[in-house]
């Protein structure tokens, strides 16, 4: 016999709230419209939430947008990580961290 998870067990997962998802999906939509991105995945783990962005479904993610509340007081809870594991931008505000994609969008539109 297996017991149902309690409310405390479910609350232990880190996730993006509606405002954060709206900001992320706004950038995602612009990049899909420009033909750069095709798919995404959301992982909600005990210690962090990850929004992974793919060019093709079968590949490794191009970028990961990570929310890690443990780093909120130090480097900032949000970071954008490239495919090789390089942290492109870190910060306390998600909107500021997502601006790293604005540069990529301008290059894609012009080039």
- Kindly report, residue by residue over 64-106, the tens digit of the pLDDT: 999 999 988 888 899 999 998 999 999 999 999 999 988 755 5
The alpha carbon of residue 64 and the mean position of all alpha carbons in its chain are separated, in whole angstroms, by 5
The model carries a pTM of 0.81
Nearest to 88 by CA among 60, 59, 63: 63
pLDDT digits (tens, 9 = 90+) for 13-58: 889 999 999 999 999 999 999 888 999 999 999 999 999 999 887 7
Question: What is the percent of the chain where pLDDT is above 70?
Answer: 86
Evaluated on CA atoms 40, 10, 80, 27, the torsion sign reads: positive
Residue 13 is classified by DSSP as: -
Secondary structure class of 82 (helix, strand, coil) = strand
- Residue 26 — φ and ψ, nearest 5°? -65, -45
């Amino acid at each position: 016999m297996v017991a149902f998870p309690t409310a405390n067990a479910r609350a232990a997962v880190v996730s993006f709230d509606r405002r954060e998802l709206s900001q992320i999906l706004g950038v995602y939509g612009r990049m899909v419209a420009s033909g750069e991105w095709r798919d995404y995945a959301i992982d909600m783990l005990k210690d962090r939430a990850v929004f992974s962005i793919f060019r093709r479904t079968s590949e490794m993610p191009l970028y990961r947008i990570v929310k890690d509340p443990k780093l909120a007081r130090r480097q900032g809870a949000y970071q954008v990580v490239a495919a090789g594991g390089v942290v492109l931008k870190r910060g306390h505000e998600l909107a500021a961290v997502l601006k790293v994609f604005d540069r990529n969008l301008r290059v894609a539109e012009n080039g």
